[in-house]
Structure formats: C-alpha cells, structure tokens
Amino acid sequence: MFIKTSNPAFKDFGDIVYDDMDFSSSHKINLNNKFIDNLKLVTNDYTFIKVTKGVVMILVSFDSNNIKSFIINRSLHIKKGIYFNFISISDEASVEVLTNTEFKSITLDNPFNYSNISSSLDISEIYTKFYQEKGTNYNFSGEKHSYWELTYVDKGELLTTIDRVSYHLKQGDLIFYAPMQFHTQSTFEKISSSYLTINFKMNFNHADLLCNKIFSLQRDSYFIVTRLIEELSNDNLYSDDLSLCYLKELIIQMLRLDNSHFHSKPTTHMQQTYENELLNDILLYIDDNIYEKISVSTLCDHFCISTSMLHSLFRKNMNNTAKNYINELKLSKSKELIRNSTHTLSEISEMLGFSSIHYFSKKFKSYFNISPTEYSKSIYN
C-alpha cells in the first residue's frame, strides 16, 4: 500500500511545505524511470521539492540501506543528512528541486526496481456460456479448440479426460481446458451432473498453473461462482462487464488457492443459505450495538449458538474471528468519530467501550500504525 508524504511517518525525513514558495530558480528534472541504482545525500538544510507533472515516488533513507518510499502529494522540505531519489509512477513525470548545494551520490548495493500495478491476465471476451444438466451415462466424445474453457460442477459428478488423462470432478470442483487441449466429458452410470461451461478468450502466460488439475472451491470462491452464474443469466445494465470481472476474480482465486489447506465447502444450498442468513444477522447485531461491550459469549447467548459454531461461521465466511472482527469494527468506528471532530479521544474511547484511553491508543496504533493523536493531526492538516 502506498503512503503519502503527508503521512506522519514521513516527518523523520522531511516536512510538508504548505506556504507558496518561489521555485523560479529551481532545477527541473524529467522522469520516466522505474529503476534507480543510486541515492543523493542532502548536505544542507535548504532542499525543497515540488512535483510539476505526473505521479512521483520519493525514496528516502538515513543510511542508503533501509529505504522507505512515499508518494509526493505536497511540496517538500528534505532534512539534512537524508538520502533520496525519485521513481516515476506515471509514464512521465517531472519535479523541481530547489537547493543551493550540489548533492553527493552513493551507489546502491541493491538497486531499487519499481513494478507497476498491472494485470498479469486479461479476459477480453466470453464466447459461450452454458448451464448443462446431463443424466446418467452421458458421453461427449471430445473436442479441442483455440480458446480457454472452464467447467464447474454445481451438482453431481463428472468424468473428464484431458489428452487421455482422466479427472473425476465432484460437486464444487472446477477444471480448466487450455487452448488446443483435447478433452472429453461424461457422467457415471448412477450419478447425473449439472455443470457450468464457459468458453472465453484470455491472454495468460502461465497456463501450467491452471491446467491438468482439479480445483475444489472454498466458500469465498463459491460466492463468486454464484454471482457469475447470476450475471451470465440476466441482461441488466453492465451484466457483461460484471461477468468478465467475476470470471477473472474466480481465476485469480484459483491461482492463489492452496488445496492442501482446503478445509470446507458448502454441502448443500440450504446449508449455505442458512449460514449466510445467520451470519448476516450477527453482523447487523454487532453493527447496531457497536457502542456496547460485545463479547463472544454475548453473541452466543443472543443467537442461541455454541462458541464453536460462531467461530466456524467467522472462520469459513469472514476469514476472521468474531473477537477480532468486533475490535476491528470498533477501531474503524473510532476513525470515523475522530474525523467528525465532535468528541475528544477520551470520550471516543469511553463511547466504544475501551477500558481506558491508554488501551484504546495502544490498540489504535497497533492496528493503524499511527496513534489517535497523530491521526487527528493528520486529518486537520
């Protein structure tokens, strides 16, 4: 996550300049670099920087080894003894440097290379979309084609072969066929199958990460498939765009999935619906009572469920614990209250049920990496 120079963490390296300064005698530097192998040392107390074009990252360090990075969002004064240099985040950028001295340069042992945030896979078009329901003893003799194909088994079981290798898919399983992979599909003698098939155009340079393996969906991926099927089935505004987004999200989830850590998936639609409704009621209750002292036992008593069931609901659907979720929600609420500037920090601490202002400040800084006081000052500035 990027940090701006207006963040209090930058204060060790320099200060924000809020007054208009005369940069008419400054030196202009045009940037398009994503790589630097040196840092410049500030040798006096008169070095000011202003971005005049594009998005610029400044790299700063005390010793040229432990380098910190910030996005420049204000004119800056860089302190004496600080090493610095620039990276252009946008394609082109420029800065003006106002100083009365020459900088000393030092070569980095480990050059800094910035990688743009960009997509590693691109899905440009969905060719076909079928939800197929096949009875027992169905047999498709096979085909190969120049585009990607996805098959997700919604119910029952399906047998598929890819280049003569067999794969047995069960409910909740998903498989990909890469371009020009010959594949067949069939059902079993006593087991039917309902499954989603999508043919699509995708640019992706790591096909081996998706091919020749079965993916068993976790619950978050199951929700993505549900939304994908819904959008593929209607003609609402931007449904096509959402379908492409959900398909890409699903593929990314599969790429990140470690099957060895897979624990659970929905067994039936009824079970999933029940758990979703219960969890939704619990989340609404927490939100409505955020100013009260809420504990795990409070939730269990109110909803007549066991501690283990509550833990399972949050672990499988929120990837979190109920206790952590409550604390995180309270801390997020405290940020909102600080931004509103209608209560003191002591009042906010008491309103949200923290035992003391010191405990509140400790939890706040631990979670947001900034104290409530510093955060309040940064909002004011």
Domain ranges for the chain: 8-113, 121-261, 267-381
Identify whether the C-beta of residue 154 lies closer than 8 Å to the C-beta of residue 196.
yes
Please state, in angstroms and rounded to a whole number, the distance separating the CA atoms of residues 51 and 68: 18
Please give the average per-residue pLDDT across 208-226, as a whole number: 86
Whether 265 shows a pLDDT value over 70: the answer reads no
Whether 258 shows a pLDDT value over 60: the answer reads no
Please give the average per-residue pLDDT across 211-237, as a whole number: 86
Please give the average per-residue pLDDT across 72-90, as a whole number: 95
Q: Using DSSP, state whether 188 is helix, strand or coil.
A: coil
Please state, in angstroms and rounded to a whole number, the distance separating the CA atoms of residues 153 and 138: 15
Whose tokens are 């659907």? That residue is 317
Name the CATH superfamily, with its identifier, for domain 8-113. Answer: Jelly Rolls (2.60.120.10)
Please state, in angstroms and rounded to a whole number, the distance separating the CA atoms of residues 301 and 296: 9
Please give the average per-residue pLDDT across 143-158, as a whole number: 93
Please give the average per-residue pLDDT across 71-97, as a whole number: 95
Matching fold, domains 8-113 and 121-261: yes
Whether 37 shows a pLDDT value over 70: the answer reads yes
Identify whether the C-beta of residue 33 lies closer than 8 Å to the C-beta of residue 88.
yes
Could you say which DSSP state residue 161 is in?
E
Of 32-41, 182-191, 338-347, which gets the smallest average pLDDT?
338-347
Please give the average per-residue pLDDT across 254-280, as a whole number: 59
Whether 158 shows a pLDDT value over 80: the answer reads yes
pTM of whole model > 0.85? no
What pLDDT, in 10s, does the model give residues 306-340? Answer: 998 899 888 887 778 999 999 999 998 898 888 77
Q: What rounded mean pLDDT belongs to the chain? A: 89
Please state, in angstroms and rounded to a whole number, the distance separating the CA atoms of residues 184 and 162: 7
Identify whether the C-beta of residue 321 lies closer than 8 Å to the C-beta of residue 315.
yes
Whose tokens are 């890409």? That residue is 248
User: What does the pLDDT read at residue 379?
Assistant: 65
User: What does the pLDDT read at residue 270?
Assistant: 45
Identify whether the C-beta of residue 122 lies closer than 8 Å to the C-beta of residue 203.
yes
Please state, in angstroms and rounded to a whole number, the distance separating the CA atoms of residues 297 and 281: 16
Identify whether the C-beta of residue 120 lies closer than 8 Å to the C-beta of residue 60.
no
User: What does the pLDDT read at residue 230?
Assistant: 87
Whether 160 shows a pLDDT value over 90: the answer reads yes
Please state, in angstroms and rounded to a whole number, the distance separating the CA atoms of residues 106 and 41: 8
Whose tokens are 């990607």? That residue is 148
Cα torsion 309, 313, 314, 317 to 10°: value is: 160
What does the DSSP assignment read for 222-277? HHHHHHHHHHHT---TTHHHHHHHHHHHHHHHHHH--GGG-----S-HHHHHHHHH
For residue 260, name the pLDDT band (cuts at 50, 70, 90): very low
Q: Is it true that domain 121-261 has CATH number 2.60.120.280? A: yes
Please give the average per-residue pLDDT across 97-107, as a whole number: 92
Name the CATH superfamily, with its identifier, for domain 267-381. Answer: Homeodomain-like (1.10.10.60)
Could you say which DSSP state residue 55 is in?
-
Whose tokens are 């630097």? That residue is 36
176: Cα within 13 Å, side-chain hemisphere:
22
Which strands sit side by side in the sheet containing 27-31, from one edge to the other? 14-17, 75-78, 47-53, 93-99, 27-31
